[in-house]
Chain A
Amino acid sequence: MSEKKGRFGIHGGQYIPETLMNAVIELERAYDFYKNDPAFNRELTELLDEYAGRPSRLTFAKKMTEDLGGAKIYLKREDLNHTGSHKINNVLGQALLAKKMGETRLIAETGAGQHGVATATAAALMGMECVVFMGKEDTERQALNVYRMRLLGAEVVPVTTGTATLKDAVSEAMREWTRRIDDTHYCLGSVMGPHPFPTIVRDFQAVISREVKAQLMEKEGRLPDAVLACVGGGSNAMGSFYHFIKDESVRLIGCEAAGRGTDTFETAATIATGREGIFHGMKSYFCQDEFGQIAPVYSISAGLDYPGIGPEHAWLHDTSRAEYVAITDDEAVEAFEYLSRMEGIIPAIESAHAVAHAIKLAPTMGKEQIIVITISGRGDKDVAAIARYRGEDIYE
């Protein structure tokens, strides 16, 4: 797969300040040891099952399937996890790893707040200190999650630099890591950043596709025809794709945030509008101008509002193993409302991007075919924002 350590084709690598190099080398060594350590894995499995509520359900979306009149649709219910999203899968793994490494403090970036809440939760559970960096604009869009993090004992630092969104939160978390490295683990929330993060996060999220495969085998006795997931940095998508990469009959479709459209500047669709670059520790695709300045991006979804994509996705795109489509704000909001009414499931606005593509795709497929959509999180956090989008001002 990779010609060089930490590479996915030409993507990946470790483009970080020298100050952080020994920290990522130490992290890699620790991970290489603990990933094969039966005691570590027993402990993690117990946390995932007894604390996070795994395995998550694979729900047959009967009404949606009938309404769209094509492929059978299953929903992978990461929204049912403790803390309300897939983020807990990765965070429990990294927090446990950090604890084994002797770290006492977790720092994290967050966009929508889901990863921040998950990190604050794991820190509370494991008795660790926690600081979450969040773009100031996002602290306003997602005030409820800010309060949840504080309730869990974390400090939330509003980031005012740059565009005051997710990318700036990542930059500030990286800066904080260079400031205080000896007792601190940077709990990165997506399949991005310098090696070994894209691999570690993917492995901890791969539980999604491992379960989907087994659950669908039990229900249908076969593989799905397509797996759909939303992509910002790409952690729930990478987790949903991973165990299907070798099953070539399974279409893997990542749904990016087009914002107001890929033909506008108000978009966050990296594969559709970005080009090769080096940023946040990795080589991958980034939205940028002709001189390599990272572009301000936009999406209604704070969790997908990121100008890059994880390096393994970039490689899956290069090799055409996965397809990437762009979904606009309008389409995502319609899908958000559609799934709520149709199945009684309010998805995160991020996940609604994947639902939106399924609405287009299912009718073009045969009734014997199967689509799995990963519902990466629940939508409670988005209700007030969607109401505002529809012109209703409600209090959170």
Chain B
Amino acid sequence: MSKIAKAFEKTKAFIPFVTCGDPDLETTAQVVRAMAEAGADLIELGIPFSDPTAEGPVIQGANLRALKAGTTTDKIFDLVRDLRRDVSVPMVFMTYANVVFSYGTERFVSTCEDIGMDGLILPDLPFEEKEEFAPVCRKYGIDLISLVAPTSADRIAMIAREAEGFLYIVSSLGVTGSRSEITTDLGAIIQVVRENTSVPCAIGFGISTPEQAKKMAALSDGAIVGSAIIKLLEQFGKDAPERIADYVREMKGAVGYRPSL
């Protein structure tokens, strides 16, 4: 069992996201430690990309601020090396295919293993193109996380059967960012997922409140939150880590514990 799967073993997972280097890497380090201490089960670290086509305005802003601050892939690897001295929560990178490809896929993925990352999410890498990255990820024990969208329909089973780590269920059409309401019939999607894989699944996109997180985690194995955390960073700057810790604690409480498995 991968370290990621273990994160879901005893509990419904709360999975916060942060863009590395927004506003600077020192703050990111504090945020990650605060999230881990506050009970995050898995942490998504965003490597900024100049043109994040799957992101809404909030995370786009975080990407551009991070790049403007001089954040690079190498500096983020150093950040993880430092974090891994005391942070044991599973962590995955979330970035775009070109960041990995241009670094050299094998060089990137082997470094991920070396520094203690557990998985990789590439939102612009659909099932049809994943064989370019999957064998390398397998070689170095990095779970390549697949995504299922509200439009996936007849593709869900195929994607679920080859899922590794956990399956990322995209809650709604469109890009990342909070929504007042999630209307997709996620129950039907997750039923197909369950029929085809034992890999856990977590729902992301549009979740910001404890009520939403609770509802989403009840349907699946966990809830993923990004934009709401970036907003706290924007609002509170260097004081954000504490606020984010409070927020993660509240969300983790709402997601709750898995009664039995």
Contact = CB atoms under 8 A, between A and B. Distances in A.
A293 B50 contact: yes
Contacts of A179: 173-175
SS of A interface (majority): mixed
A57 B74 CA distance: 55
A173 B247 CA distance: 33
Contact of A22 (B100, B147, B153): B153
Interface string A155-191: 0000001100001100100110011110000000000
Residue with the highest number of chain A CB atoms closer than 10 Å, among B67, B74, B129: B129
Given A21-B126, A161-B60, A15 B97 contact: yes
B155 A22 contact: yes
Contacts, number: 119
A149 to B, nearest CB: 23
A280 B53 contact: yes
Interface in B16-60: 49-51, 53-54, 56-57, 60
A37 interface: no
A19 B173 contact: yes
A18 B72 contact: no
A17 B154 CA distance: 16
A127 interface: no
Interface in B103-159: 103, 123-129, 146-155, 159
Interface string B173-192: 11100000000000000000
B152 A292 contact: no
B53 A291 contact: no
Contact of A21 (B57, B72, B152): B152
A21 B126 CA distance: 8
Interface string A1-33: 000000000000111111111110000000000
B57 to A, nearest CB: 8
A288 B98 CA distance: 10
B129 A19 contact: no
B51 A167 contact: yes
A78 B195 CA distance: 55
Given A181-B151, A286-B98, 16 more contacts: A16-B124, A17-B147, A18-B147, A18-B152, A22-B151, A22-B154, A171-B51, A175-B174, A175-B175, A178-B54, A277-B101, A288-B102, A291-B99, A291-B103, A292-B49, A293-B99
22 contacts: A14-B126, A14-B129, A15-B97, A15-B125, A21-B128, A21-B155, A22-B154, A161-B64, A162-B50, A171-B51, A171-B53, A175-B174, A175-B175, A178-B174, A280-B51, A291-B74, A292-B49, A292-B73, A292-B103, A293-B49, A293-B99, A294-B51
Interface of A: 13-23, 161-162, 167-168, 171, 174-175, 178-181, 275-281, 286, 288, 290-294
The 7 A-B residue pairs with the shortest CB-CB distance, nearest first, are: A292-B102, A179-B174, A19-B149, A293-B50, A292-B98, A278-B97, A18-B149
